[in-house]
Amino acid sequence: MLMKLTGRRAITDNHQGYPIYRSWFPQETASEVAEHFKPDVVVVLAHKTGLVAKAFHDLKLPILFSFQDVEFSGHGFDIGQITPLHGIANSEFTAAAYREVFQAKCSVIYPLIDSEKYVVEETGNNIVFINPVPVKGLEIALEVAALLPEIPFIFQESWPLSPEDRASLNKRIEKLDNVVLKAPTQDMRDVYRQARILLCPSQWNEGYGRIASEAQFSGIPVVGSDRGGLPEAIGDGGVVIPFQAPAPTWADEIKALWNNQDRYNTLRDRALKHSSRETLSLTKQIDSWEQAIRDVYHAHS
């Protein structure tokens, strides 16, 4: 409404305590924002990063990409045409992919996670599977739950499910007495309070695997696939399984961990230690981000 009333293609507010420019198509408002805000460096991330980066690059501004996945088509533009190409990747896996394909000058900073928003004092007694959609390993999770009827599972909805998909999933879960589907929550502590083990059988090339770190802040071991950067997130605080492994392999690993308290305690301690590693220190991460921005600025000068 404000854009229509003012004739501007981007409107500004300070609701977060700093100026935010909002537009339906950011790449079309680059010159307007640059003229008003006069940025020293433009950091681009998320949807259609290539289009946004090109618009600011054409204005002769230094660009720093935030690479969060290896879905290259999602950039909307061949970012290899932006040279030199500087980026921060969310894992060694992601960095390696951008170095290989685009010859990017790429360093690694893991996702910034405020642990206080995820730590719980006590954990529960369920296998928790977050985001029950096919690319996250829904089929494996369903088969594993069917193979382990004596163990309770929580399927936690994350990405919005269509009414059709939710109805289909509910119909399949109704056949499993040990599975409960829970609605999305804004407080992930509600989820981790109920977890004994986090199940991450992702079939997608994860850029990192943030939920593994979220769980490990409370010492919750992770059983996850070897896809993308997920093994980096899990480290030795869990079990990594080939993503193509059949459901019985997953079930055997989970059952062994569930029934062996000594092994569980070992992985719990390792999960806590892995979550406290220096590369997840917010202070160090922010310092690294600031240095990366300075480096791009000086390289452009």
Q: Is 262 exposed, middle or buried (0-12, 13-18, 19+ CB in 10 A)?
A: exposed
CB atoms near residue 269 (< 10 Å): 13
C-alpha 115/C-alpha 217 separation (Å) is: 7
State pTM to two decimals.
Answer: 0.94
For residues 196 and 220, what is the distance between their CA atoms, to the nearest angstrom?
A: 6
In which residue ranges of the chain is pLDDT below 70?
Answer: none
What residue ranges define each of the domains in the chain, with the CATH number in brackets? 2-110+281-300 (3.40.50.2000), 115-279 (3.40.50.2000)
Of 238, 189, 242, which is closest to residue 216 (Cα–Cα)? 238
Phi, psi of 14 (to 5 degrees): -125, 30
pLDDT tens digit string along 182-231?
999 999 999 999 999 999 999 999 999 999 999 999 999 999 999 999 99
* pLDDT score recorded for residue 113: 98
Q: 156: buried, middle or exposed (CB in 10 Å: 19+, 13-18, 0-12)?
A: buried
List pLDDT tens digits, range 47-81: 789 999 999 999 999 999 999 999 999 999 999 99
Instruction: Tell me 301's DSSP state.
Output: -
Contact predicate 111/208, CB 8 Å: yes
Give the integer Cα–Cα distance in Å for 244 and 203: 8
